[in-house]
Amino acid sequence: MPAEPHAHKSLGPGLALATLGAIAFSGKAIIVKLAYRYGVDAVTLIMLRMLFALPLFAVMAWWAGRGKPPLTRRDWLGVVGLGFSGYYLSSFLDFAGLAYITASLERLILYLNPTLVLLFGWIAYRRRITRGQFVGMAISYSGVLLVFGHEVQLGQSASAAWGALLVFLSAVSYAIYLVASGEFVKRLGSLRLVGLATSVACLLCILQFVLLRPVASAFEVAPQVIWLSILNATVCTALPVLAVMMAIERIGPAVAAQTGMVGPLSTILMGVVILGEPFTAWIAAGTVLVIAGIFVFTRMGR
């Protein structure tokens, strides 16, 4: 068959790109936790990340939009709404939640995103949920509860609960973006939409900082925070977006999503090695449950 050699050629690079994207994106939580050690707050930290990421996403939007028709008023309204929900609100809630919980628990909560997309799809469009998908969801959520229960025992229960809630709301906000973005992806293309929506989110994060903090305070942070924010904006924000997009072109969204399962594992490993976070049998068991549940969930959804 003529398509097979091409498929085999694309498989290796596609898997490598998907793996790179998952690991790079997972490093975001590690960098945020490191930056918090220098006394910076979530409003300032996310502003710095988005300030350095803005030129990259603006170039991405320009590149993807070359030769395409200009956006209509309806398109711009959609881009602003998607940028607010998918990249501004979800990012801010995630950064805020990481001040209270470990990077490992944060990544496991965010990994529940496909189940939230399905639930919102059922609410908005009455898309059917199969029994197998329910089973996968139950397995995954039990894994998160297991890790959360262990984290509550390690620290203050109120702080852990608040942090977990913020990160879960971050996952909800991003799931709303994914459900609502379908029509705009078809109209604008995925890369152009991501570039435009993230550029909007960058501007919102900068505006939030200007309204809530003295502008001069942006330059009063430790030098390490600046370098960590540059690393976050490039290696853990722009690079994963491009890598995953290129992976999907080569191996398709289903295989790319399955490869993304390396994400939680890499976050836990980096959390243990770089941050000194504990790794116990409870965390291992919870991680296995979450990944197994999402695997069952995606298999049953095909």
pLDDT band at 1 (very low <50, low <70, confident <90, very high): very low
CA angle 256, 252, 54 (to 5 degrees): 65
pLDDT band at 77 (very low <50, low <70, confident <90, very high): very high
Q: What is the pLDDT of residues 116-155, one digit of tens each?
A: 888 887 877 777 778 888 888 888 889 888 888 877 776 5
Side-chain half-sphere of 138: how many Cα atoms within 13 Å?
7
Distance CA 230, CA 50 (A): 9
Distance CA 277, CA 275 (A): 5
Output the pLDDT for position 212: 93
C-alpha dihedral (20, 151, 165, 177), degrees to nearest 10: 10
Residue with tokens 């993230």: 198
What Cα–Cα distance (Å) separates residue 251 from each residue in 16, 23, 243, 264, 302? 10, 18, 12, 21, 16
Distance CA 52, CA 73 (A): 28
State mean pLDDT over 231-236.
Answer: 93
Which tops the pLDDT comparison, 10 or 82? 82
φ, ψ dihedrals at 130, nearest 5° = -80, 165
Q: Which two tokens stand for residue 79?
A: 């881009």
| Length of the chain (residues) | 302
* Cα–Cα nearest to 49, from 286, 185, 226, 170: 226
Output the pLDDT for position 113: 83
Compute the radius of gyration of the chain from its Cα atoms: 19
pLDDT band at 3 (very low <50, low <70, confident <90, very high): very low
Q: Which two tokens stand for residue 1?
A: 């068959």
* Number of independent structural domains in the chain: 1
What Cα–Cα distance (Å) separates residue 247 from each residue in 211, 234, 297, 302? 39, 18, 21, 19
- What letter represents residue 266's amino acid? S
Lowest mean pLDDT among 81-85, 199-203, 204-208, 245-249: 245-249
Residue 1: how many other CB atoms lie within 10 Å: 6
Output the pLDDT for position 253: 63
pLDDT band at 9 (very low <50, low <70, confident <90, very high): low
Q: Are 24 and 243 in contact (CB under 8 A)?
A: yes
Q: Which two tokens stand for residue 287?
A: 């991680």
CA angle 179, 184, 188 (to 5 degrees): 145
pLDDT band at 2 (very low <50, low <70, confident <90, very high): very low
Q: What is the DSSP string of 239-301?
A: HHHHHHHHHHHHHHHHHHHHHTTHHHHHHHHHIIIII-----HHHHHHHHHHHHHHHHHHHHT
φ, ψ dihedrals at 98, nearest 5° = -65, -15
Q: Are 109 and 287 in contact (CB under 8 A)?
A: no
Lowest mean pLDDT among 11-25, 73-87, 107-121, 241-255: 241-255
**Structural domain for 46, as ranges:** 3-300
Distance CA 268, CA 12 (A): 25
Q: Are 98 and 49 in contact (CB under 8 A)?
A: no
* Cα–Cα nearest to 196, from 300, 58, 292, 68: 58
